[in-house]
Structure 1
Amino acid sequence: MTGRRGGRRLVPAYLSTNGTARPSRPQLERLSLLTTSGTPVPPGLPAAQLALLDALREGSLTVVEAAALLELPVSAVRVLAGDLLDQDLVLARAPVPVAERFDPDLLKRVADGLRALKQH
């Protein structure tokens, strides 16, 4: 799945997903965390799915990180991950929600307290 020096891929991304355009799991987001499940890999798995599983052997990756590592579009990795989820070969965790806005007054009081401790 590597490209040529001119930047054009040897294999179009849609071929890595067997022509599938949409993931079977629409809840997979760009920041969903992917991890291998430890289930034995069945024979005959497509090369792109094997490449994703291989990338996840090093540890958990977000969909975006896996896409960058495999040099595939995020949409293609979402399809591949969805197929692997359907086969129980990968686990996915939703992205951590954005924290509530911080209280600027609380931060100011903490900074003031730290400054006071530093002066003593």
Structure 2
Amino acid sequence: MDDAGDGGRKPGSRWYDAEAGPLVRPYAMTGGRTKPGAGAERFDLIALVDLAPDALARAEQSLIGPEHRTLIVLCSHDTQSVAELAAGADLPVGVVRVLLGDLLEAGLVAVSRPVPPAQLPDERILREVIDGLRAL
């Protein structure tokens, strides 16, 4: 704590903490929303997020916020899970879900779920297919 006893804040500023840097409350990033918009899928931590083919060009022209753009940049390199996006953007998962809902509604991202292990073919069956193909 500094000598002034104000927690390291600049005089007259409630939105700055010298140790943490500028503070933006999560509700400010989401416009007070706590859930993705109507019709948006539920974003599990392992849901995979891909950019739409023309998302980078359309994002330049849209009126999305800087946090939305951060998520788009993170997705531009590779498919990302919701958990990876939250970590990469250094944002709470709840905020990322709301922002992804906005991007989904704008058609800038696509969300898919990984195939559950129970739905994957059995390894034994795949080996039998490979052995059968080799026998031909």
Decide: shared fold, TM above 0.5.
yes
Matched residues, percent identical?
Answer: 29
Return the structure number with greater relative CO, CA threshold 8 A, min gap 6.
1
Aligned to 2:13: none
The runs of 5 or more residues in structure 2 that have no matched partner are: 1-15, 125-136
Contact 1:29 1:95 in 2 (8 A): no
Q: Which amino acid aligns with 1:23?
A: P
**1:97–1:88 CA distance, 2 compared to 1 (3 A):** same
Q: After superposition, give the CA deviation of every residue in 1:59-102 in whole Å (9 maximum; x if it has no partner).
A: 110000000011111111111111100010001002332437xx
Q: Number of residues paired by the alignment? A: 100
Q: From the CA coordinates, give the structure whose radius of gyration is larger.
A: 2
Contact 1:17 1:48 in 2 (8 A): no
Q: Which amino acid aligns with 2:23?
A: L
Tell whether 2:99 aligns with 1:99. Answer: no
What TM-score does the superposition give when structure 2 sets the normalisation length? Answer: 0.63
Aligned to 2:106: 87
Deviates more, 1:41-50 or 1:62-71: 41-50
Per-residue deviation at 1:16?
1.5
Q: Once superposed, what is the RMSD of the aligned Cα atoms?
A: 2.6
Matches within 5 A, 1:1-120: 6-7=19-20, 10-24=23-37, 25-39=40-54, 40-41=58-59, 42-99=61-118
Q: Which amino acid aligns with 1:51?
A: T
Report the 3-state secondary structure (helix = DSSP H, G, I; strand = E; otherwise coil) of the residue aligned with 1:85. Answer: helix
